[in-house]
Each structure stands twice: as C-alpha cells, then as structure tokens.
Structure 1
Amino acid sequence: MKTEKKRFLAGVLLLAAFSVWTLAVRTIDVRPIGPRQSAVGFAALNGRFHRLTNVHWALYTLTDWLGLVPIFVCLLFACIGLAQLVRRRSLFQVDLDIRLLGVYYALVIFAYLLFEAVPINCRPVLIEGVLEASYPSSTTLLVLSVMPTLCFQAERRLKSAALRRGIKLLTVLFSLFMVAGRLLSGVHWFTDIVGAILLSGELFYLYQASVLRFCKE
C-alpha cells in the first residue's frame, strides 16, 4: 500500500474514532459536575482526573502564551505563499502543497469555530468569570494540527538532514510539553484533550495524504 493511502486510511480511521468519542462524551455518564452545574460526559473519569491534577494557573498561562508558537508557524507559511504569489503573479503558480496547507489551516479554524458554537463540554473552571467551551481543547488542537506541518514541510523543503532532525526533535518536545501542560493545568477535562488529539491527527493525516498524492517533491 502506498504511503499516501496509508495516511488517508489513518485519517479516515481517526475521523471515525473522533466521531465515536464525541458521541460518547455527549451520552455516557453525563452529570452536572462542572461549574454552574454544567453537564459533563464521562463524569466519573473526568471528575477523578480533575481532582487528581487540580488547577495550576501558572501552567495554564504559560501554555496559553506558548500557543502563539503555532500561530507564528502559520504566519511563516503564509509569508512563503505570499512571496511566491508576488514573484510568480498567479495563485495557481504557488506551490500546491502550500495552497493545500492554507486550506488545511482553514479547516482547523473551522473546526475550532464549530465547537465554540456548538459546545460539547464546558471547562472545569471559570476563566475570568466566564464558563467557556472546552471540547476539544483548542490549544491542543492548534499545536497538534500545526506543528506536524512544520516537520512535514521541513522534510520536503530542507536539504540539511541535521536541520531537519533538529526541527523534528524540537517540534516533538514542544508538542509533548504543550499537551502535558494543558492536561495537567486543570483547565480542561481529560476527554477534551483526547478529543483534540483525535481530531488533529485526523486532519493532519488527510492533509499529508493529499500532498503525497497530488504534489511532486
């Protein structure tokens, strides 16, 4: 099986897993354990994990600010695309993988806005007195959707193997820290983090499969 087919299959399977997980969060052990008696799925699991971690505002603030890193990555690729557009004077002359990346980032934003508009779970804490939507974790979704594209594009565009390995190592360490930080900060339910991991994996694998299928090296 070709690599792109494996990535596409992985994306489809993760989409199915995310759909099932979201339905489960909405229907299994739903009880009002959140602030202002907000109902939460997997109440026993989420409540137990939240009591275990408690809330760490410093970690929340740190990971919130570090959430700017993937935004800068998006801006980096936007600048690459803009430079190609200005130089080549046609959108269709911009590298296809960069155009697909723009579509991919738009889908990530759409997913974020969708779950803000249709809340599945609300946070286990109030943020400045406001009960915010919490599923899936938006910061986790952003990090795990964007940072893998940095590694993927580095593999395609950089000739230096050492530089590619360095970017991959830093990206993996940063992503692990951010996921662990959001999980342990206590501002999300455990199921919110799992949902973000599944959704970001699905989106990235489908993007990767599209690039491998339609773009030349």
Structure 2
Amino acid sequence: MFNTLVVAGASRGIGLAVASHLAPKSRRLLAVSRTLAPIGEWVSADLSSLSGVEKTAKAVGSDVLDAFLYMGGTWETKAFTREYNFEHCSDEDITRVIGVNLVAPIRLVKSLLPALRRSANPKIIFMGALSGRDNFPAREVANSASKFGLRGVVHALREELRSQQISITVINPGNVGTPEVLEDLAQNALLGGKAIPLNDLLNIIDCILSLSRETCLKEIDVAAMLGTGA
C-alpha cells in the first residue's frame, strides 16, 4: 500500500485511468486537474501557473509522497489530424502546449522534492510520447518540441537526483486506448494507427512503481504493434 500519490492530469484520458487504477492501492491519492477529477482527492489547479503548482505542493503538505506521476498533457488545435497546419497555430496555442507539457512538470518536481525525500522508495514518472523521440515523423511542432524537451528534463533530473536515489522515468507511448482515443480512431479522426491497450500501459506503470530503489529505469518506448513508430 502506497502512502500518498500525486497524479497530475487526472480528470480524463490517461491520467484518469492511472488515478482510477492506483487509488485502491494508496492511502491518499491526490488527483490534480483543472476540471473535476472523479477519483481520489481532487486538487483543482491550473498547472500552467505558479499558483497551481504551489496549491499542489500545499495539498501534499507533510505527507510521505511515494510517487509523483505527471500524466497531464495538451497539444495544438487539430493536432494528430489531417487538418493540422503549423502556420495556423496561434501564439496562445504554442505557449500553452509548452507551458503545460514542459514547464509545469519541472516546477512540480522542484516543489514536491521535500515530500518525495520522505519516502522509502520515491518515484517520479512522466508521460512523454513517441513524437518526442529522435526523427519521429510527427508534424505537431509545439507538442513534439515539448515532449522532446521532457526527455531532456528527465535525463538531467536523473543526474541531479541520483545521489538521493529518487527514481525518474519517462514513458513514451503512441496512441493509448483511452475511450476518447478509441472513439477518434473508429471515426478515422486520428492519425497514428492502432492504439496500445490501456491495460498494458497500466501494467508498465505498476512495474516501475514496484522496482527497488537500487534500479534506474530511464525511458520506455511503447508503440502499438500496428501503429506508427513500431
């Protein structure tokens, strides 16, 4: 049984699935999101702002934080569809994507480190994307840049936190079979081919959380067998 877990981006999609999966395994699960999260203890916070980051750290308080899972993410308007066009992306779109996908997780790790240090086996897990991998054929400029940058954050933090044995891992999936993604694929409204079964991704997260403090699991790339990037 985990003590306290923080799942960011827990109101829908992957974040909601992860929060639902982990809530029965933890004494306290903080579900952080802008819109209502139906699982765990909802922390209403816009993580693209400093106030949202501070609110999350305050909610953790003096707890023992066993894991911080940043499952949040956003992308440009019409991303991953045939209608995407970089020149039509607004400056607001670009700033929002970089802020949520890259700046927010950096700020959150910094604010949550004191609580993570109280754990006997602290874990940090970031949800990246195959589009952040080298030479991946994605067209979404801001999203790809943010996910590529997230990998750099993880590698740098690993060196920074190595002496404290705080584990940090980035998972880079293709399409993940959340209800929203499966519906879009069925309507041929989403590129990338088949989706990874959601349960497979949850099993990977379970594996990471179960590892001892002696193990360093850096990056995991996960593609659907019949999807782009396999």
TM-score, normalised with respect to structure 1: 0.35
More helix as a share of residues: 1
More strand as a share of residues: 2
Compare CA radii of gyration and give the structure with the larger one.
1
